[in-house]
């Protein structure tokens, strides 16, 4: 493969890592009120702390994958980066604001011992998880579908154009898929009432995610074409995750949903290749890995940087997951 193709694959891998890891983060955040429904306020608060502490040591590290993916797009495909960030300005702005609010909420929630104070930050966590979970699906569905892109590389699509039924289904797909992924993660990572409720939620959310996912992939395949292998793996892995959750095989269930999210991301990028941003105006105006890439020297330098630092990042994050591998219970937050 030439360097532009290698970097297209590398960016796909970075986005895959982000969606697999941040995906369960988003799911956990959205499930915060669902998994803390006890009648006693003290027990509800303890369960909410269990849910938050389950991702407390890792959520900010998971966001590094987003920074790296966007940085790689900027360096390797600056035209793609410019067109995407300008064309999807409002959805991406909402995502960034939601992520900022979510990060602040994690840090400030416990600063004041007041129920109303915590409730406000809990709302920020829930919204800061749900908004990106939905809008990332909208954005990537539009990237696969294409936008109003002229010969000057400027996207002229309006907001209403970005909210087509296909894009909204894409948002629903990522939202429900991340809810399932987060529920399975919590069933694996916690114990006690939260673990039980997470298992029940996973078994409830699974069929909804499967329906949305299958519908979106069928629509994508019919309208734009999808690579068959990752699409089949996506559905099979998510189905396996649901079945394993029913059988309370939590470790394997989480592995299956992680594979499902990864295969789903691979399907989206496989549907794009060799384009990076199709044009609805004319195929002649498509941005491709050839006409949107940086020069060979820049890509060569990036390759050396990636070869040195990416293994370090992966090793550090793997170590952090290993250190904080134990289940979280009410006893840990008492």
For residue 275, what is the enclosing H or E element? strand 275-277
pTM value? 0.94
Quick check: 334 pLDDT over 70? no
Of residues 316 and 234, which shows the higher confidence score? 234
Closest to 263 measured CA to CA, from 245, 238, 289, 241: 238
Neighbours of 274 (CB within 10 A): 11
What's residue 137's pLDDT? 97
The tokens 């989206």 sit on which residue?
A: 268
Helices (H) and strands (E) in the chain, counts: 14, 2
Of residues 30 and 328, which shows the higher confidence score? 30
How many domains would you assign to the chain?
Answer: 1
Q: In a 3-state reduction of DSSP, which class is residue 287?
A: strand
Per the CB < 8 A criterion, the answer to whether 232 and 266 are in contact is no
Q: How far apart are CA 178 and CA 196, in angstroms?
A: 19
Closest to 7 measured CA to CA, from 80, 65, 73: 73
Range of the domain at 233: 3-333
What's residue 58's pLDDT? 87
Per the CB < 8 A criterion, the answer to whether 209 and 179 are in contact is yes
Q: Which residues contact 297 (CB under 8 A, 6 or more apart)?
A: none
Per the CB < 8 A criterion, the answer to whether 327 and 198 are in contact is no
Per-residue pLDDT tens digits for 5-55? 999 999 999 999 999 999 999 999 999 999 887 678 888 888 899 999 999
* Torsion sign (Cα): 77, 79, 82, 85: negative
């Amino acid at each position: 493969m030439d360097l532009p193709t290698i970097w297209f694959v590398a960016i796909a891998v970075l986005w895959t890592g982000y969606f697999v890891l941040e995906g369960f983060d988003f799911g956990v955040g959205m499930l915060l009120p669902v998994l803390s429904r006890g009648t006693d306020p003290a027990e509800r608060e303890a369960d909410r702390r269990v849910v938050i502490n389950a991702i407390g040591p890792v959520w900010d590290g998971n966001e590094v994958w987003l920074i790296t993916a966007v940085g790689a797009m900027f360096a390797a495909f600056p035209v793609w980066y410019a067109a995407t960030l300008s064309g999807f300005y409002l959805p991406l702005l909402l995502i960034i604001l939601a992520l900022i609010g979510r990060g602040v909420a994690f840090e400030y929630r416990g600063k004041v011992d007041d129920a109303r104070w915590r409730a406000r930050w809990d709302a920020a966590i829930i919204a800061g998880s749900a908004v990106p979970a939905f809008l990332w699906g909208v954005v990537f569905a539009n990237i696969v579908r294409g936008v109003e892109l002229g010969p000057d590389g400027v996207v002229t699509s309006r907001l209403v154009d970005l909210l087509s039924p296909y894009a909204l289904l894409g948002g629903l797909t990522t939202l429900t898929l991340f809810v399932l992924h987060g529920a399975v993660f919590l069933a694996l990572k916690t114990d006690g009432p939260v673990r039980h409720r997470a298992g029940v939620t996973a078994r409830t959310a699974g069929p909804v995610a499967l329906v949305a996912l299958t519908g979106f992939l069928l629509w994508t395949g019919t309208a734009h074409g999808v690579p068959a292998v990752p699409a089949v793996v996506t559905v099979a892995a998510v189905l396996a995750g649901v079945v394993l959750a029913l059988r309370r095989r939590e470790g394997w269930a989480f592995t299956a949903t992680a594979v499902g999210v990864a295969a789903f991301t691979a399907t989206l990028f496989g549907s794009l290749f060799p384009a990076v941003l199709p044009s609805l105006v004319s195929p002649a105006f498509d941005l491709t890995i050839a006409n949107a890439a940086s020069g060979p020297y820049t890509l060569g330098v990036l390759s050396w940087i990636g070869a040195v630092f990416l293994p370090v990042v992966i090793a550090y994050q793997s170590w952090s997951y290993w250190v904080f591998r134990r289940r979280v219970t009410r006893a840990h937050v008492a």
